[in-house]
Amino acid sequence: QVQLVQSGGGLVQAGSSLRLSCTVLGLTGARYPMGWFRQAPGKGRTFVASLTWNSDKTYYSDSVKGRFTISRDESEHTLFLEMNSLKPEDTAVYYCAAQLYNSGTYSSEVNYDYWGQGTQVTVSS
């Protein structure tokens, strides 16, 4: 059974940094695209960042480009999202996701097969 277990998040002030983690259980030995999405209060889930199956390319939404960094530790089967210069508009529940098959498309949630439980990030002004 595949599980994505998230950690990190919390309440911080604007300008602060946070790191989110997402450990993949049950897909050991495989390499697959992964991403981060977020859902702000009263809004739909939107793309934040993703990386390809071999981590050779990364993609970011315009709203986080230059502030957030996605990375992966293959040996620990863990995905990270380093978030710097946080803004109140970054407040959302953040979800990690994994594609079982490499769809070649990395910013649409419909291409992701497994999801983490979500973690709250709240940025105060």
Q: Per residue in 27-68, pLDDT tens?
A: 766 688 999 999 999 999 999 999 999 888 999 999 999 999
pLDDT at 71 over 70: yes
| Residue among 60, 69, 63, 111 nearest 87 (CA) | 63
Classify residue 76 by burial, with Cβ atoms within 10 Å: 0-12, 13-18, 19+. exposed
Residue 86 CA to residue 111 CA, distance in Å, equals: 27
CA distance 123 to 10: 8
pLDDT at 26: 87
Q: What percent of the chain has pLDDT over 70?
A: 98
Structure tokens at 40: 């702000």
Amino acid at 28: T
